[in-house]
C-alpha cells in the first residue's frame, strides 16, 4: 500500500472518529446549555413566588385591602399571578399573568385573555352567584372572550355536578357533609340560563382555603418547594435526553460502515487501474476482488463505528484514541494472520506490531492536536492527522538512514566482542578442565582401597582444600597425639 493511500485511509478513519466525537460533544453541549438555562428558569420562578409574597404582605395584608371578608380575594389575585408566572418560568416560558389592580371588570390578564376572579364561598353556590352579579354589571364580558376564574376545588365540584344526570344526583347526593341535591339544582339552573357556559369558567391554580390570610404564606412556600421538585425533574429529563442511545449508536455504526466500505471500494478500483487495466477490461474475478475488499471495509467500518461510539460514550476515551485503538487492533490481527500463514517470523511479527501501534498513536495525537487548534468538526482532526503523519514519515525516513549506519556499527562491535569473549571463554574452560583433572586425581587417591595410598591421598586432599598444614594428620606423632591425648 502506497504512502498516499495509507494517509488517505488514515484520514478517513480519523474523520469517522471525529464525526462520532462531534455527536457525543453535541449532546454534552446541549445538556450543559439546558442545565444553564434551567438555573435561570429556577431563579426566575422562585423570584415570582417571592415577589407575590412581598406584594401580598405590603399591598394587601398591611393595607387591610378588602377588609376581613374581602381580603382573601385580593390575596388570590396576587397569588395567582405569582404561581402562574412561576410555573411558566420554571419551564422557560415568559411571565403570562398580569395583575390589573384597578377594581374594574378585569382582575387579571393572561396572554391577552381577560380574567375575573371569584373566590366566594358565601351562599354555598361555589361563586356562581358572584359571577351572575358581575355579568349583570358587565354583560359583554363573556361575549368578548373573558373568563371567570374560581377556586380549583370549587371548579372541580361544579364540573362534577354539571355532568351528573338527575337520576344519579337523586341517588348519590345527600344533605350531609358533601354536596346536596339542592347544590346540583342550583348548578343546573345556572348553566340552564345559557348566559355562561361551562367553557367560560376555569380553575385557579389554588384552592379557596389556600389563599386565606393565615394560609397564603404556607401555600406559596409549598409552591416554591414544588417548583424545586419540577426543576429537578426537568434536569433529570435533560440528562436522560443527553445519554447515548441505541439509535444513535446504530447510526454511527452504519455511517462508519458505509464510509469505510466506500473507501475500500474506491481504493480497490484504483489499485486495479494502477495495474494497467481499464474499467472496461475488468473481469468478473476483478469485480469479485473489488466486492470482497468493499465488504471487508464495510465490516471493519461497522466495527470501528460501534467501538468508537461505545468507547467515547461509556469510557473516558477520546474519539481519536478510540479510532487508533481499533486501527491498531486490526493491524495487529493482520500481522498475526501473516505469522500463522508463515509469511513472517516471530521477530518480524513483533516489529510490525510495534510499528502499527506507533503509527496509530501518532495519528491519534496528531488528530487531537489538530482538533484543538482548528475547532471545526472533522476538519481539524483530518488536517492534524495529515500534518502529523507526514511529519512522522519524514522524520522516521531520515532517522532510518542513521539507524541503519548505527546498526551496522553495532553489529561489527558485537562480532568483535563475541570473538574476544569466545577466546577468553576457551581459556577459562581449559583452565577449569586442568583443575578438575588434578582434583579428580587427588580424590581418587583419597578414596583408594589401598590404605597407605588412601592415607597419603587424604592428606593431599586436605591440603588441596585449604586445611592448615599443622592441622593435617600427616605423621605418626600427630596421629597418636590426636587420638590418645
How does DSSP assign 367-413, residue by residue?
HHHHHHHS-STTHHHHHHHHHHHHHHHHHHHHHHHHHHHHHHHHHHH
DSSP symbol at 187: H
Report whether pLDDT(385) > 70: no
Q: Pick the closest to residue 153 from 211, 98, 97 (CA basis).
A: 211
> Regarding predicted confidence, which is higher, 387 or 93?
93
Nearest CA to 368 among 317, 331, 311? 317
The DSSP-derived string for 117-182 is: E----GGGSTTHHHHHHHHHHSTTTTTTT-EEEE-HHHHHHHHHHHHS-HHHHHHH--SSSS--HH
Instruction: Give the rounded distance of the alpha carbon of 477 from its chain centre.
Output: 97
16, 305 Cβ separation under 8 angstroms? yes
What's the CA gap between 18 and 302, in Å, rounded?
15
pLDDT in tens, 257-314: 666 666 666 666 666 666 667 766 667 776 676 677 666 666 666 666 666 666 666 6
Q: Quick: pLDDT tens for 214-262.
A: 999 999 999 999 999 999 999 998 888 877 777 776 776 676 666 666 6
pLDDT digits (tens, 9 = 90+) for 16-65: 666 666 777 777 788 888 999 999 999 999 999 999 999 999 999 999 99
Q: How high is the mean pLDDT of the chain?
A: 76
Q: DSSP character for 471? A: G
Whether pLDDT at 384 is above 50:
no
Phi-psi region of 104 (alpha: psi -120 to 50; beta: other; left: phi over 0): beta
pLDDT value at position 55? 95
Q: Is it the case that residue 363 has pLDDT exceeding 60?
A: no
Kindly report the backbone phi and psi dihedral angles of residue 97, in degrees, each rounded to the nearest multiple of 5, phi listed first: -105, 145
| Grid cell of 48 as nine digits | 415570582
396-435 pLDDT, tens per residue? 555 455 555 665 676 677 778 778 888 887 888 777 777 6
* Helix, strand, or coil (residue 97): strand
The pLDDT value recorded for residue 404 is: 54
Q: What is the pLDDT of residue 412?
A: 74
User: pLDDT for 165-186, tens place per residue?
Assistant: 988 888 877 766 778 888 888 8
Q: Which residue in the block uniquely carries the three cell numbers 393572561?
A: 110
Cα-only R_g, the chain: 48
Angstrom distance (rounded) from CA 17 to CA 319: 5
| pLDDT tens figures, 348-361 | 767 666 666 655 65
Q: What pLDDT does 39 receive? A: 94
Q: Compute the average pLDDT of residues 470-476.
A: 66
For cell 519524514, the residue is: 394
> Beta partners for 108?
99, 115
If residue 185 lies in a helix (H) or strand (E), which one and from where to where? helix 181-192
Amino acid at each position: 500500500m502506497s504512502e498516499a493511500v495509507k494517509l488517505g485511509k488514515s484520514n478517513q478513519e480519523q474523520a469517522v472518529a471525529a464525526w462520532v466525537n462531534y455527536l457525543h460533544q453535541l449532546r454534552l453541549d446541549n445538556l450543559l446549555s439546558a442545565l444553564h438555562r434551567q438555573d435561570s428558569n429556577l431563579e426566575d420562578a422562585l423570584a415570582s413566588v417571592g415577589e407575590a409574597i412581598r406584594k401580598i404582605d405590603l399591598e394587601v395584608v398591611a393595607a387591610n385591602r378588602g377588609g376581613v371578608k374581602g381580603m382573601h380575594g385580593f390575596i388570590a389575585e396576587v397569588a395567582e399571578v405569582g404561581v402562574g408566572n412561576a410555573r411558566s418560568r420554571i419551564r422557560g416560558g415568559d411571565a403570562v399573568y398580569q395583575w390589573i389592580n384597578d377594581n374594574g371588570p378585569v382582575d387579571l390578564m393572561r396572554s391577552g385573555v381577560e380574567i375575573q376572579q371569584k373566590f366566594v364561598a358565601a351562599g354555598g353556590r361555589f361563586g356562581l352567584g358572584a359571577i351572575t352579579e358581575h355579568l349583570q354589571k358587565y354583560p359583554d364580558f363573556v361575549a368578548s372572550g373573558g373568563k371567570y376564574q374560581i377556586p380549583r376545588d370549587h371548579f372541580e365540584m361544579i364540573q362534577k355536578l354539571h355532568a351528573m344526570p338527575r337520576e344519579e344526583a337523586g341517588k348519590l347526593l345527600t344533605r350531609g357533609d358533601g354536596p346536596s341535591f339542592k347544590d346540583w339544582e342550583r348548578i343546573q339552573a345556572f348553566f340552564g340560563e345559557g348566559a355562561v357556559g361551562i367553557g367560560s369558567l376555569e380553575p385557579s391554580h389554588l384552592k379557596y382555603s389556600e389563599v386565606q390570610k393565615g394560609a397564603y404564606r404556607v401555600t406559596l412556600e409549598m409552591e416554591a418547594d414544588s417548583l424545586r421538585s419540577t426543576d429537578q425533574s426537568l434536569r433529570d429529563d435533560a440528562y436522560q435526553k443527553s445519554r447515548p442511545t441505541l439509535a444513535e449508536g446504530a447510526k454511527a455504526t452504519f455511517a462508519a460502515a458505509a464510509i469505510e466500505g466506500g473507501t475500500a471500494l474506491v481504493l480497490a478500483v484504483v489499485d486495479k487501474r494502477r495495474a494497467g487495466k481499464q474499467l472496461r477490461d475488468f473481469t468478473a474475478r476483478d469485480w469479485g476482488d473489488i466486492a470482497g475488499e468493499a465488504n471487508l471495509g464495510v465490516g471493519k467500518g461497522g466495527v470501528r463505528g460501534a467501538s468508537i461510539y461505545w468507547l467515547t460514550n461509556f469510557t473516558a476515551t477520546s474519539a481519536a484514541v478510540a479510532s487508533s485503538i481499533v486501527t491498531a487492533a486490526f493491524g495487529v490481527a493482520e500481522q498475526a494472520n501473516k505469522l500463522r500463514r508463515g509469511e513472517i517470523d516471530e521477530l518480524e511479527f513483533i516489529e510490525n506490531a510495534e510499528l502499527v501501534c506507533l503509527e496509530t498513536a501518532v495519528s491519534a495525537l496528531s488528530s487531537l492536536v489538530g482538533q484543538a487548534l482548528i475547532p471545526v468538526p472533522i476538519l481539524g482532526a483530518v488536517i492534524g492527522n495529515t500534518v502529523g503523519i507526514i511529519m512522522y514519515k519524514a522524520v522516521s525516513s531520515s532517522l532510518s538512514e542513521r539507524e541503519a549506519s548505527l546498526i551496522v556499527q553495532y553489529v561489527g562491535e558485537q562480532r568483535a566482542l563475541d570473538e574476544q569473549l569466545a577466546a577468553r571463554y576457551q581459556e577459562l574452560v581449559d583452565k577449569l578442565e586442568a583443575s578438575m583433572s588434578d582434583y579428580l586425581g587427588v580424590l581418587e587417591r583419597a578414596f583408594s582401597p589401598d590404605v597407605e595410598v588412601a592415607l597419603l591421598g587424604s592428606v593431599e586432599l586436605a591440603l588441596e582444600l585449604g586445611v592448615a598444614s599443622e592441622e593435617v594428620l600427616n605423621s605418626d606423632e600427630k596421629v597418636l597425639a590426636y587420638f590418645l591425648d
